[in-house]
Every structure is written in C-alpha cells, then in structure tokens.
Amino acid sequence: MDKHALNEALEKLADNPARSASELARSCLRMVAETALHAPAEDLETLQTLLAAQAHQMIEAHPSSAPLGYFLKRWTNRVAELSQDGLEEARCKAAEYALVLVHESSSAVRAVASRAREIIGEGRVVITHGLSSTVMEIFHQLKESRVRAIVTESRPSLSGHQLAAQLSAWAIPTTLITDAQIGLFVRRADFALVGAEALLGDGSVVNSVGTYLLGVAARDQDVPFYACCESYKWRPADSEEFALPALDEAQLNSPQLPHVTPVNIGFDITPARLVTGWITEHGIPRSFLDVSARRR
Amino acid sequence: MDKHALNEALEKLADNPARSASELARSCLRMVAETALHAPAEDLETLQTLLAAQAHQMIEAHPSSAPLGYFLKRWTNRVAELSQDGLEEARCKAAEYALVLVHESSSAVRAVASRAREIIGEGRVVITHGLSSTVMEIFHQLKESRVRAIVTESRPSLSGHQLAAQLSAWAIPTTLITDAQIGLFVRRADFALVGAEALLGDGSVVNSVGTYLLGVAARDQDVPFYACCESYKWRPADSEEFALPALDEAQLNSPQLPHVTPVNIGFDITPARLVTGWITEHGIPRSFLDVSARRR
C-alpha cells in the first residue's frame, strides 16, 4: 500500500465516538498510523522515537485498557525492527501494520460474537451493562434471531444511551433502565452478557463500574453471567494489584458541599466466582473455569 | 387547642421537601389537619365525607407507602367517630388528632434511631441508599460519635444529594457515589443501613430501587445490612402480591428512540434472607429473624 492509499484507508476507518476498550485500541492504532505517515521527522530513528513516545503516552493514559496495551506494544516492537528500511518505506510499513492490527481486533470481536450467538440461540432476552463493542457485535449478529435487550444507562458516561440508539437502529426491542434497576430486571433476562476492559489472572472481569452488581444479582437470581471478550484482554495481574482509575468528579454534577467528597471510579472488578463462562474468539478457556470452580 | 393555636402549630410544622415514607405520612397528616380546620362544609357529615375522600386520595396516590396508610386510616376512623360533636369542635379535634399522630411518628423515628446508635457505636463507617428520615435521624444522633457516611446519589430522584447536604450541615465526613459504585464502596463500610417504604410479611424490605443491590453486595462482602424502620411499616402482603409502582419515565431524560422503552420503577424488594436485622422502635423483632434464618 502506498502513502496515498493508506491515507484513504485511514479516512474510511473514521473514529467512532464509542469508547469501548476494543474501540479505543482500534482508534489509537488509527492515530499512530496517521502519525507514522505524517509526523515531521528527518530520519528513521527520530520517527521511531516519536512513534514509541506517542504509543507509550496512549498506554499510560488508559492503564486499565488491556487491548490498547496489547496492540500498541506489538506495534511498537514491529516499528522498532524497521531499521533496514528507508524513511518513507518505514512510514508506510508502520501505518500498514497498524491497520493490520485494527483488522485483527475487529475479526476477533466478530469471532467472539459468533460463539456467543451459538450459546444464546433464538428469541432470548439479554441484559448488559456498560459499552462493549463485543456485546454490540453480539446484538448485531442476533438481530434476526428475535433477541430482546435490557440496557442500563451506565451513569455517569450514559454509554447505555449510545448502545440503545444502535439497538434501536437494528430494530431490537430494548428496555432502558437506570443502573439501580439492575436487580429488578436481571430476572427477566435469559443471559447477562458483559464485555471487559481487561480480564485478570484468575478470570476476574474489569469492566464499567456496576458490572459487579449485575454479576452478584445474576448469581443471586440464577441468571447465567458471561464475560465476552477477545483473549488478549487477559493480563496476569491479581485483583489486589489492579488499580482502578478515578475519573473526573465534575462528570457527576454533584453539589459542592464542605464535608462531602464526590467519587467517580469508572470500573469495578467482578470476581471469577460470579462468572458462568468467558466467551473468547477461541471458545471458553478451561483454565478460568477450573480456577472459578475451585474458588466456589 | 383552639383553631388559632392549631393554625400556628401547623405553620411551625412547615412542609419538608424530603419525601421519605415517614416524612410523606407526616406531611399528609398536616395537610388533612389544615383541611379539617378550613374546608368549606356546612355540617359535620359533609366535613367527614370530604376528609375521608382526601385521605383516601392520598393513600391511593402512594400505594407503596406503609406509614401513610397506617396513620391516615387511624385518623379517618377517629374522624368518623366524631358524630357527637358540633362542627367547629369536630374540626379542632380532627386537626389535633392529626398532629398527635405526627408526633407519634416522629417519636417512633427517634426511638428507632436511638436503638441503631447503640448497635453502631463510635467511629464507624455507614453506607446507605435512598432517602430515609429514620436513617437521617440515626446520623443526627451519631454526629458526635465520629461516624462517617457513604451515600449513593439514588438516581433519578437524586435524593442522596439532599441527604449529603444534611450530613454536611452536621459536619459528618461523607463520600458521595453513583449507584453503580455500591459494590466498590460497600466493603469500606462497617454497616449498611437503609430505611423502608414498607416491610412485607416475611420481613422483605420495600425501599428505593437499588436497595436490593446494596443488600446482595453487602451479603457477598460480609457487611451487616440493617433495615431501620418503625414497626407500623410492616404489612402482611407477600412480595409477589406487592405491586411496585412505575414512576414517570420523563424523569430519566432518556433519548426518544423507536424501539427503546425507558422504564423508571422507584422501588425494589430486598428479600428477608439478605437482611441481617430489623431495627424498630421496639427492638429487633424475633419473628423476622426466625423467618430469615429458616430461609438461608
């Protein structure tokens, strides 16, 4: 692919405002591809330093996002190996490899969705929490299968509104609830499905805050709870080592009061013992199930 | 008390914007007292009919609120017995009895709070959800005991903001969280305390939607969960018979989408098996504990 063709490819992959972990990774890959093509650099080494710095900055800005780290590290390693190439050729190769990874990510998401579709079957009710491009793709693949959705608004990002809009465009009957209504509605669902920002060593699920409440309510009411995500979201950390980043409190529009501290943590961890199964592009990994079974 | 003195008493008991179940009952009692004194009626029978109709209307408008039904029915029965009195005397007696019931309700709330204070002790962290004048009174009584609070915003009413403002006025250090963060914060609390709109036959707790999520998360993380409420909130209905009223969806500011139905149910039911204890003005009733123990 030459520079012009790459530019066109990048324009087609327009940035989606959705910010699920996988979307974020793909969108950052598109950005580094753009930088590879256009960044001011007189020689290859300067370009490589600059690209490595940008990738590093992106990873640091989203420490909880497993796919972002996974893909950008693979990309940076490949870029570092481009020492035999001329500057222009290296620019194209770096950008092209980023787009290959975008494709790899999208394919993995579609593969996860297609396994989930088999498990769910026809005419079922699915409840979800948070915005996951994997869960969105599952609904996409189920839209002809009389699926119905229960979607939480997911305060404070209100990403549930975005998901509801997409489901509405696919004519999927959707019930939109506040996060606090999870307990009332989980019993009306055949399956609880969530995506993941990351999977921890034992299969615990890092996802939008409130996912743990869906997990614990689903267990209490005997509704199967599946984490649906690409296998590269797994990271060997323990729950205790995993820092949950606090987001901007201003998002909450809380009143300013002298003795009151508003807190806005964006993620929580659902322990593996609450997860019925992990649906990945390779199937359901036995190791998580074993860990989970031992822990119950 | 003559009509003038009653008027003054009513003015002092200014309506509080808070709308916990007990507050609502007291505020309706003040309203019927006002009507008793001032409603246009030429004879006692007309007055009685009018007052019974107003009380009935109030009960119908808030079917889930146990204290409202309890107090207004007691009041209506007393008003119906006033047949031996002249019109003016009956007006005063009806208004006075309503204020006696307001006092009875406030005393019961204070008695519950004082039992809760003994259980909680010094320097503890208490998490709560929803607006309860009983829980507010507990914090009031604990404010010199180095209590700290974790308060949910309680979407969509945002009644948690009101509670936080009151706690701030009492200089109680308070963490204000979204409902979805309940699972993250419950482990930081020594006690989870909630009020109740009503207690059902087996001790299940009807309260602001999301209370069940606090109950199930508290059980999962071994935090004691207490329902704090006046004994007259008990009603013999089963969970299955109890209809949870849907509130106005417009409150949610959800997007208008063709296949999407926003739902706004204001209450949920926390099953008795998740309740560590019920704190009432008479202590902790054995019967609920027994039922609860049998169910586990």
Q: Which of A172, A184, A264 sits opposite B268 (nearest CB)?
A: A184
Which amino acid type is present at position B210?
A: G
Residue B95 confidence class, pLDDT cut points 50, 70, 90 = very high
Distance CA A247, CA A17 (A): 18
Structure tokens at A210: 């409130």
Is the pLDDT at A177 greater than 90? The verdict is yes
Distance CA A64, CA A59 (A): 9
Which amino acid type is present at position B160?
A: G
Residue B64 confidence class, pLDDT cut points 50, 70, 90 = confident
Distance CA A216, CA B262 (A): 23
Q: Is there a contact between B259 and A172 (Cβ–Cβ < 8 Å)?
A: yes
Query: pLDDT digit string (tens) for B115-147?
Result: 999 999 999 999 999 999 899 999 999 999 999
For tokens 């035999």, what's the residue? A84
- Between the alpha carbon of residue A211 and those of residues A127, A225, B268, the distances in Å are 11, 10, 19
Residue A296 confidence class, pLDDT cut points 50, 70, 90 = very low
Q: Please report which helix (H) or strand (E) contains residue B168, including its range.
A: helix B159-169
Distance CA A287, CA A295 (A): 12
Is the pLDDT at A190 greater than 70? The verdict is yes
Q: How far is A23 from chain B (nearest CA, A)?
A: 23
Query: How high is the mean pLDDT of chain B?
Result: 88
- Helices B44-61 and B66-80 cross at an angle (nearest 10°) of 170
Interchain CB contact of A174 with B (< 8 Å): yes
Structure confidence at residue B11 (pLDDT): 54
pTM for this one?
0.85
Q: Which residues of chain B lie closer than 8 angstroms to A252, CB-CB?
A: 153, 176, 178
Residue B293 confidence class, pLDDT cut points 50, 70, 90 = very low
Q: What is the mean pLDDT of residues B88-99?
A: 94
The residue among A290 and A83 whose pLDDT is bigger is A83
Interchain CB contact of B179 with A (< 8 Å): yes
The residue among A20 and A178 whose pLDDT is bigger is A178
CA-nearest residue to A160 within chain B is: B254
The ipTM, to two decimals, is 0.84
Could you list the beta-strand ranges (E) of A235-285.
260-262, 267-270, 277-279
Q: Which of B220, B252, B259 sits opposite A167 (nearest CB)?
A: B259
Asked if A260 lies within 8 A of B213 by C-beta distance, the reply is: no
User: Maximum CA pair distance of chain A?
Assistant: 62
Interchain CB contact of A14 with B (< 8 Å): no
Asked if B268 lies within 8 A of A181 by C-beta distance, the reply is: yes
Q: Which long-range contacts link B219-224 to residues 24+ away (Cβ below 8 Å)? A: B219/B274, B220/A216, B221/B186, B221/B187, B223/B127, B223/B186, B223/B187, B223/B189, B223/B190, B223/B191, B223/B192, B224/B190, B224/B191, B224/B192, B224/B276, B224/B277
Q: What is the mean pLDDT of residues A56-63?
A: 87
For tokens 């008027």, what's the residue? B7
The values of phi and psi at residue B128, to 5°, are: -140, 165
Q: Which of B179, B209, B258 sits opposite A168 (nearest CB)?
A: B258
Chain B, residues 244-273, CB within 8 A of chain A, namely: 244, 252, 254-255, 257-265, 268
Distance CA A161, CA B258 (A): 13
Query: pLDDT digit string (tens) for B51-61?
Result: 999 999 998 88
Q: Which of B145, B143, B142, B176 is nearest to B162 (CA)?
A: B176
The residue among A296 and A279 whose pLDDT is bigger is A279
Query: pLDDT digit string (tens) for B38-51?
Result: 999 999 999 999 99
Interchain CB contact of A165 with B (< 8 Å): yes
Q: How far is B171 from chain A (nearest CA, A)?
A: 6
